[in-house]
Amino acid sequence: MDLNPEILRLYLVTAPTLCPGPALVETVTAAVRGGVSFVQLRDKDTTTRDRIAAASALKDALSGPGVPLVINDDLEAAVVADVDGVYIGQDDVTSAIARQRLGRDKIIGLSCEVPHQVTAADTQLIDYLGLGTVFPTSTKTDHKPTIGLDGLSEMVRLAQLPTVAIGGLKKEHAVGVRRTGCDGIAVVSAICGQADPQSAARDLFRAQHPTTERRS
């Protein structure tokens, strides 16, 4: 599908340790009110059945504002829950299999940690790329060495698809990420780990649009 890069602008990745159980829907709903434009359900340590249940609850909550929902890694859960798509890593199911199972109208995101993965991404099968890990993060410890903003800039330059920066990103990084040309910033604890997810999302959104805020 032809993905509008704007929907990647403020991208929330959920963390079960930071918004467990019933807090998941509440946290995500508040974050969307604050400006989150895309949601990825990520829970590596649960079952497909539980991911389907969580995705179904989120899908209902997000249907009103029309914010896309994808599931990290679990293609079966994405198919059964009929969410907007899936986000896959380099060692997960192939993009060809994901596209075959999901059809042309669903979203497929691909994680890219090094430049050659960006250039190898099949633009006929993939809709967007997650680039990073940009900075160290406690929510994913099994990543390749961090790339920093310079590495992010290089990968954005190589990309032929919309991009979102992932890994250790906070409000203070928003302007730097935009300057690389990356379409969006993905966060986890910067929203899920906050007492007021709506305000945290709003602050991140404003940090991405400093000129607009100064004019207002």
Q: In the chain, helix, strand, coil percent, each to 5?
A: 45, 15, 40
How many of the other CB atoms lie within 10 Å of CB of 97?
13
Out of 37, 51, 99, 111, pick the active-site residue.
111
Catalytic residue at 157?
no
Paired strand residues for 108: 86
**Given CA atoms 168, 139, 113, 197 in this order, what sign does their dihedral have?**
negative
- In angstroms, rounded to a whole number, what is the distance separating the alpha carbons of residues 168 and 88? 19
- In angstroms, rounded to a whole number, what is the distance separating the alpha carbons of residues 94 and 163? 19
Out of 9, 42, 99, 178, pick the active-site residue.
42
Out of 140, 170, 171, 206, pick the active-site residue.
140
- In angstroms, rounded to a whole number, what is the distance separating the alpha carbons of residues 32 and 199? 10
CA distances from 48 to 15, 43, 182 (A): 16, 10, 31
Residue 192 buriedness (CB in 10 A; 0-12 / 13-18 / 19+): buried
Catalytic residue at 111?
yes
Catalytic residue at 42?
yes
Residues annotated catalytic, as ranges? 42, 111, 140
